[in-house]
Structure 1
Amino acid sequence: MTKPATLAQKILARAAGREHVEPGEIVTVKVDLAMAHDSSGPRRWRARLEALGTGLWDADRVVIVSDHYVPAVDAESASILKTTRDFARDYGVRNFYDMRGICHVILPEHGHLRPGLFVAGGDSHTTNGGAFGCYAAGFGATDMTAIAATGETWTNVPHTIRVEISGALGAYVSAKDIMLALCRDLGMGNHFKAIEFGGETVQAMDMEARMVLANMTAELGGEVGLVEPDAVTLAHIRSHGGEIDDSEIIRWQSDEGAPYEKVFTLDASRLAPQVAAPHSPANSSDVTRHEGVEIHQAYIGACVGAKLSDLHMAASLLEGRKVAQGVRLLVAPASAKVTQAAAKDGTLAILADAGAVMLPSGCGACAGLGAGLLAEGEVCISSTNRNFKGRMGHKDAEVWLGSPFTVAASAVTGRITDPRKLASERSRAA
């Protein structure tokens, strides 16, 4: 009889053509989907593939997204984008999304993800895809070149940490606050681990919230973040053009008695809005500890912080209010589809009326590229996933992390602010 296995083990066993794999084993696996963006992909791949005298192993299983250098702000950026476009044309990559949004949002938006897949991506936040019950991990450019050429790679079968989350999230508390708390409490040193998220709180989340958990597994140091698929997963896949059978829910679950390295529990009902102080997501604590820190910029952007639900969070606090004098509120929707939906439902109008400046969809300031960079001594509160020194501009700037609720509230007051307080002021005024 097959031993009980975690979801990570099950996916890797399938990809390796094995009945069972054990944590700690090194296995060769077949890749179901390879993803790269304009920074990590064609400009790194082309010369190597030409030197090897080979092409892509399967162009239809390769997704390329231009999101880091878009739109071009200088000649070097323009050259990188041209290289990306030429590569997609020359190598027959039909799944090329040029200036349509951030790669980690594009994949689920276009139905590329489903439970049980092994997804290799040329970016550390490829973990985002694990929200769909697939093994989605980031690889370096050299490994990604080999994957693009052969459709195979090797990996260490990770031990799994189960994060069991219970309790209802309070008002103005989100999945982002959960992840900031975990960066502090579970730490950022969980290297080569799979982090599996479960419990009643996760089951109650929509897919965009689950993506936050999987995405910021990278900040925990994890190899992959996983959420077991359910009816919510299947509904999202189908509504975005993917095909999936109901039986996939049963197939891709961790077994009872699965060999978790440890189980970490978190009561979400006790969680307050969180902020991470510079220069690490692990420097997280209740927002009340840092209220009053003056800011120059508030940024709502990135794969983790500018989906439609994130813009809705911000708009719920910005409606009828104005951004504080001397503060820049920059909003870069995560994709063109997000922009279209936010325009249709009135969200963009609320943000603009409040004084937000709209930026193009892309990685932009989050990755230290394009518009929105910080000068020496400036302070920014951001819905992004990282606040490392120099990440968003000058090395002597400060980046604080928070949820879109907290970023929006702080933009209104000009200081780091508990969004619950801003909401309560409106309630009293009413």
Structure 2
Amino acid sequence: MAFVAPLPVPTHSAAAARRPLTHRRHAVVAVAAPSRSTPTTKPAVTHPMTLTEKLLARGAEKPFVKPGDNVWVNVDALMTHDVCGPPTFGIFKREFGDDAKVWDRNRVIIIPDHYIFTEDKRANRNVDTLRQFATEQDIKYFYDIKDLSNFRANPDYKGVCHIALAQEGHTRSGEILFGTDSHTCNAGAFGMFATGIGNTDAGFILGTGKLLVKVPQTMRFEMNGNMPDYLLAKDLILNIIGDIGVGGATYRAMEFAGSTIGDLSMEERMTLCNMAVEAGGKNGLIAADHRTEAYLAARGSKPTEIFHTDEEASFYADYKYNVADLEPVVAKPHSPDNRALAKECSDVRIDRCYIGSCTGGKTEDFLAAARVLQGRKVAVPTFLVPATQKVYEDVETLRINGETLKDIFYNAGCIALGDPGCAACLGGPSDTFARLNEPLVCVSTTNRNFPGRMGDKEGQIYLASPYTTAASAVTGYVTDPREVYDFDANKRHPTETLAD
């Protein structure tokens, strides 16, 4: 059971927020958005709503909803994978009949990704079950894999479901997405309501296309200021989780806003929203903007509808950060809220580093790691697992200073690229690439560091950004990336601009 931390009083200073919890007062607070003057030509908002409330109101076909309401919503998309798909299909057939058809074959997305490249027969059987169901139901979006010896021989196979959903244009602003995976909140980066659900709820959706949802309260995290060159979105979310605790946002929406968020790429926004669940959040989300529309357009998709939080909307809590005050951080074992500055852990000797997962295995995550590793050698085994086939191709082809990312990693002494997928993020069968099969200390770009999460129950996982992980790989200790790389003191070089 996760420890539910008391909610700290929102502050106007991130530096103050980082003081030890024992030195801060705690209280459960409800903070309303500050009142603002409204032009007389602008019509008054009768029922001001947050972004999450507007999304659920649309899904419920209601003019407005408020926190605490229980509403039936129409589901725009349901995603499942090889771990939860088989039991979900079993529940669907049990409740609706062996010959029942799903409510909409074009809105069900099946993505094998978790336990794929393994000789474990049970894991292989799960993928067979997905294939059988997809065939029976004529599912349009089934990203199959048959040849496990060569992932490239499977043109439909994608990799990690959350990144594949975005890359294939399934994350459309304004819609409602449910998935049988807790990190489905990743898609909230596109201005949609996206959250993880259990197999029973998923089975019900398969038969009806609807789900009963309790409207969550919203916590806003407004981040402004010039983001230092040495920080990444992973540092931002680990700071937030460190402030509010792993239970600080339980069944609440975490809305990220502010000028800093507007400057982030879509992949960095995904990192923020992905880990909302690590604070107990029902969902994490960011309002769609021109970056969102451009990302979708490049993938042949477009927003269904774009919503923004009303100025008069109320929040359960309203946090404000000046990102210039933040520093690289890690989450020490064994909880995502066990935050410490990376430089405070410089005496921790490590056994390996891991760069991968839905949180840290995207193209820009590898660009960031390559930036630090170029021209350097790793001191510990460093495993690299691209999230999807597309990311794998990017690692092979994108260049920094004329050198491909793959060559940068090879010359640095990293382990050869693993097949795209979840790999060791969830542990998996014993033959899973990079799994901790003994009690090792690992710095990882993944999202959870609970005991046994990456394999051995005695393993110790330090969650960190790609910059911090790469720097730690170079020294063999948990390392602040500023100790290894000379970052630009005058301006930030966004990850999406690092390639030649």
TM-score for both structures, normalised by structure 2: 0.82
Which amino acid is 1:80 matched to?
Answer: N
Tell me the distance in 2 between the aligned counterparts of 1:367 and 1:73.
Answer: 16
Shift of 1:320: 1.2
The equivalent residue for 1:45 is 88
1:121 aligned residue: 179
| Partners of 2:174 and 2:303 within 8 A in 1 | no
Q: In 2, distance between residues paired with 1:17 and 1:62?
A: 21
Q: Aligned pair 1:2/2:64, yes or no?
A: no
Secondary structure of the equivalent of 2:87?
A: helix
Question: Aligned partners of 2:160, 2:55: CA distance in 1, in Å?
Answer: 26
Equivalent of residue 13 in structure 1, options 44, 50, 57? 57
- Which residue does 1:183 correspond to in 2? 241
| 8 Å contact from structure 1 (residues 37, 103) kept in 2 | yes
Q: Aligned partners of 2:160 and 2:230: how far apart in 1?
A: 25
Cα–Cα, structure 1 residues 421 and 11, in superposed 2: closer, same or farther, change >3 Å? same
What do the CA deviations read for 1:103-126 (whole angstroms, capped 9, x no partner)? Answer: 100111011111110111110000
SS at match of 1:185: helix
The CA deviation string for residues 211-231 of structure 1, in whole angstroms up to 9 with x for no partner, is 111101011110011101110
2:372 to 317, 322, 325: 317
Moved over 2 A (4+): 45-52, 424-427
Q: Distance in 1 between matches of 2:217 and 2:488?
A: 47
Residue type at the aligned position of 1:144: A
Q: Paired residue for 2:130, among 61, 84, 89?
A: 84
Distance 1:285 1:300 in 2: 20
Q: Which residue pairs with 1:214 in the alignment?
A: 273
Cα distance between partner residues in 2 of 1:49 and 1:223: 24
Instruction: Quote the Cα distance in structure 1 between the aligned partners of 2:414 and 2:374.
Output: 11
Indicate the residue corresponding to 2:222 in structure 1.
164
- The offset of 1:426, in angstroms, is 12
* Matched residue type, 2:88: W
Find the counterpart in structure 1 of residue 478 from structure 2: 416
Cα drift, residue 318 of structure 1: 0.8
Over aligned residue pairs, what C-alpha RMSD do you find?
1.5
1:425 Cα deviation after fit: 10
Q: Is the 8 A contact 2:229 2:488 kept in 1?
A: no
Partner of 2:434: 372
Letter in 2 for 1:364: A
Look up the equivalent residue of 1:130 and give its one-letter code.
Answer: G
Mapped partners of 2:410, 2:132: distance in 1: 36
Structure 2 partner of 1:234: 293
Query: Residues 49 and 55 of structure 1 are in contact (CA less than 8 Å); yes or no, is this contact kept in structure 2?
Result: no
CA distance in 2, matches of 1:13, 1:395: 43
2:328 aligned residue: 273
Corresponding residue for residue 31 of structure 2: none
Find the counterpart in structure 2 of residue 107 from structure 1: 165
Moved more, 214-223 or 93-102: 93-102
Within 1, Cα distance between the matches of 2:300 and 2:447? Answer: 28
The residue aligned with 1:254 is 309
Q: Which amino acid aligns with 1:105?
A: I
> What are the residue-to-residue correspondences of 1:309-388 with 2, within 5 Å?
309-324=364-379, 327-345=380-398, 346-357=404-415, 358-369=417-428, 370-388=432-450
- Shift in Å, 1:48: 2.5
How many Å separate the matches in 1 of 2:326 and 2:88?
Answer: 44
The residue that corresponds to 2:263 in the other structure is 204
Please tell me whether the aligned partners of residues 72 and 81 of structure 1 are also in contact (alpha carbons under 8 angstroms).
Answer: no
TM-score, with length taken from structure 1: 0.95
Shift of the 73–355 alpha-carbon distance from structure 1 to 2, 3 Å rule, reads: farther
Alignment counterpart, residue 202 of structure 2, candidates 115, 120, 144: 144
Matched, 1:401 2:474: no
The 3-state SS of whatever aligns with 1:60 is coil
Partner of 2:108: 62
AA paired with 1:414? G
Retained in 2: the 8 A contact 1:273–1:287?
yes
Q: Is the Cα–Cα contact under 8 Å of residues 171 and 420 in structure 1 kept in the other structure?
A: no
Q: Equivalent residue for 2:451?
A: 389
Amino acid at match of 2:470: A
CA offsets 1:240-275 (integer angstroms, 9 cap, x no match)? 110347xx44xx001111121121111111111111
1:191 offset after TM fit, Å? 1.1
Deviation at 1:45, TM superposition (A): 2.5
Structure 1 runs not aligned, ≥5 long: none
Supply the distance in 2 between the matched residues of 1:349 and 1:329 (Cα, whole angstroms): 14
Equivalent residue letter for 1:176: K
Identity between Structure 1 and Structure 2 (%): 41
Using the TM superposition, give the Cα deviation of residue 292 of structure 1 relative to its aligned residue in structure 2, in angstroms.
2.5
Task: Tell whether 2:359 aligns with 1:304.
Answer: yes
Inter-CA distance 73–254: structure 2 relative to 1 (3 Å threshold)? same
Residue in structure 1 matched with residue 142 of structure 2 by the alignment: 96
Structure 1 residue 7: Cα displacement: 0.7
The whole-number CA distance in structure 1 between the counterparts of 2:469 and 2:133 is 38
Equivalent AA in structure 2 for residue 16 of structure 1: A
Mapped contact 2:52–2:193 kept (Cα < 8 A): yes
Partner SS state of residue 424, structure 1: coil
Count of residue correspondences:
420
The change in CA–CA distance for 1:261 and 1:376 in structure 2 (over 3 A counts) is same
Aligned partner of 2:468: which letter?
T
User: How far apart, CA to CA, are the structure 1 residues paired with 2:207 and 2:381?
Assistant: 45
Q: 1:30 aligns with which of 38, 63, 74?
A: 74
Cα deviations by residue, 1:373-418 (Å, 9 ceiling, x for unpaired): 2134310000001000111111111011100111111111111111
Q: Which sections of structure 2, spanning at least 5 residues, go unmatched? A: 1-44, 145-156, 399-403, 490-500
Instruction: Give the partner amino acid of 1:405.
Output: Y
Distance 2:385 2:181 in 1: 19
Q: What is the CA distance between 1:315 and its match in structure 2?
A: 0.2
